Amino acid sequence: MTSLDDIFSALADPTRRSILTMLLEDDMAVTDVAEPFEMSLAAISKHLTILTKAGLISQEKRGRVKWCKLEPNAMKDASVWMQAFGQFEPVNLEAFEKFLETELGDDHAS
């Protein structure tokens, strides 16, 4: 099982996020994944290894070609963790200040 640390570490890199976005469309051969990036195939392979270790993608060999596939449930734990922080509304300080003035009255005004 991968940890949240592995997932967030993998997602921290813009190249890896771009790769995940590309894989949203369909499975891709490693050479096709590498094509839009101005880096070596070895560098792309390192990114793919990190994504694989984090459980975000899987790789399999089909014939002589290595294919990458997005693992859609891989971000579930990270998503659940992040959603916990979305339950709070942002604080409107002006509205809070007016509420305090109304509740406390003028005797607490400076």
pLDDT per residue as tens digits for the range 28-67: 999 999 999 999 999 999 999 999 999 999 999 999 999 9
How many helices (H) and strands (E) the chain has is answered by 6, 3
- Helices 4-11 and 41-53 cross at an angle (nearest 10°) of 150
- Highest-confidence range of 10-14, 69-73, 91-95, by mean pLDDT? 10-14
User: Whole-number mean pLDDT of the chain?
Assistant: 86
CB within 8 Å of 38: residues ≥ 6 apart:
none
DSSP run (H or E) holding 65: strand 65-70
- Give, as one character, the DSSP assignment of residue 66: E
Higher pLDDT, 9 or 2: 9
Structure-block tokens of residue 88: 């709070």
pLDDT above 90: percentage of residues in the chain:
60
Radius of gyration for the alpha carbons in the chain, expressed in angstroms and rounded: 23
Whether the pLDDT of residue 106 is over 70: the answer is no
The arithmetic mean of pLDDT across residues 17-32, rounded, is 95
Whether the CB-CB separation of 47 and 37 falls below 8 Å is answered with no
Confidence of residue 110 (pLDDT cuts 50, 70, 90): very low
